[in-house]
Copies of this chain bind each other. A is one copy, B any other.
């Protein structure tokens, strides 16, 4: 028997769509005991929130998240709003005993994140952070390869997350679609947006980062602000690079930018170990490259694994071998894992505590970039 799970979604932007789609689809494809119900959507604009409710089939609307959190008919609060709102909503939701799902990054900084961890742990409510890329089947396969000990001692980790959509100086900052360029709302630029994904994946695959040295840059110094209409100083980082040393001894480079012309979504990582190597690029998300040093020397080569077989993570739930799934499926897979985690008592990761550790790495990055020196990462 399916248990209804009444969702209160906050935010009707891009993430509002992605999460709503996940709630609508999860039961068509996964055997989970909970059935999400699109109970209420919350956003500041009355017109937009109503239009969104129509489009997605929400039963009701709210324009004040505080009212939503108080509603007795809501089981779970999903925070899909900009970064500077996460703390307050999450604390209220936890206090109200709601399940809390939160978009990444968890918070503006480690201090905020810590409060959020404490709140959900005190309230003992299921909690989850939407670092959706862990549920790309190829990345989940990479984790499986690590677990199977096919890489051996890790020497190197390198990651990039490259985009090119903010190169034009005519692009304004702030407002609905461009809040990620407004430091007051986003906290940081690519560090919180892109490199947080790279760090989440790296910690999951390769364990803790011990120390790092970083640099950031803001290439376009001033942009018109959407809301004030004025040209204002840009406070975010357009690019962020760092060198790091993992606890397991591996050396690493990380780089993220929105100024890599021609790179649309190059969320790439490569791991080099004694026994093998792996390479992933989100621009070809259905492939994982794997080099196995155990192959006969004359036949060794990088394998391009088309991660679409029934043997691969998540794919038995979807279509047939050889057919691809896309971006949105990472959210559906994540939701299924989250629900199964609640049902089995083995919480899916990253929960708030796990995402807090990523936040601490972001803190170290920003500190290092400010001070231009090596920084030890707070292990959390």
Residues of A in contact with B (beta carbons under 8 Å apart): 14, 18, 20-21, 24-25, 27-28, 55-56, 141, 144-145, 150, 155-156, 158, 160, 162-165, 167, 213-215, 217, 219, 239, 241-243, 245, 249, 251, 253, 255, 257, 259-265, 272-277, 282-286, 288-293, 295, 297-306, 308-309, 311-312, 318-329, 372-374
State whether A253 and B253 are in contact (beta carbons under 8 Å apart), knowing that A261-B293, A274-B167 are contacts in the complex.
Answer: yes
CA distance A317 to B338 in the complex (A): 27
Q: Which residues of B contact A276 (CB under 8 A)?
A: 261-262
CA distance A253 to B299 in the complex (A): 26
A sample of 11 cross-chain residue pairs with beta-carbon separation below 8 angstroms, ordered by A number, consists of A156-B239, A156-B255, A261-B291, A264-B322, A265-B323, A285-B324, A298-B309, A298-B312, A299-B303, A300-B303, A326-B329
Query: How many copies of the polypeptide does the oligomer hold?
Result: 4
State whether A141 and B324 are in contact (beta carbons under 8 Å apart), knowing that A277-B261, A319-B14 are contacts in the complex.
Answer: no
CA distance A262 to B278 in the complex (A): 9
Q: Which residues of B contact A302 (CB under 8 A)?
A: 262, 303-304
* Closest residue of B by beta carbon distance from A310: B297
A259–B272 touching, CB < 8 Å: yes
Residue with the greatest number of chain B CB neighbours at <10 A, chosen from A160, A284, A312, A323: A323
Q: Which residues of B contact A214 (CB under 8 A)?
A: 243
Q: Which residues of B contact A299 (CB under 8 A)?
A: 145, 150, 290, 292, 303, 305
A320–B14 touching, CB < 8 Å: yes
* Closest residue of B by beta carbon distance from A150: B299
Q: Which residues of B contact A327 (CB under 8 A)?
A: 319, 323-325
Q: Which residues of B contact A264 (CB under 8 A)?
A: 306, 308-309, 321-322
Q: Which residues of B contact A298 (CB under 8 A)?
A: 141, 144, 305, 309, 311-312
Tell me the minimal C-beta distance from A368 to chain B in angstroms. Answer: 10
Tell me the minimal C-beta distance from A8 to chain B in angstroms. Answer: 19
Residue with the greatest number of chain B CB neighbours at <10 A, chosen from A259, A273, A322: A322
Residue among B144, B301, B322, B326 making CB contact with A305, cutoff 8 Å: B301
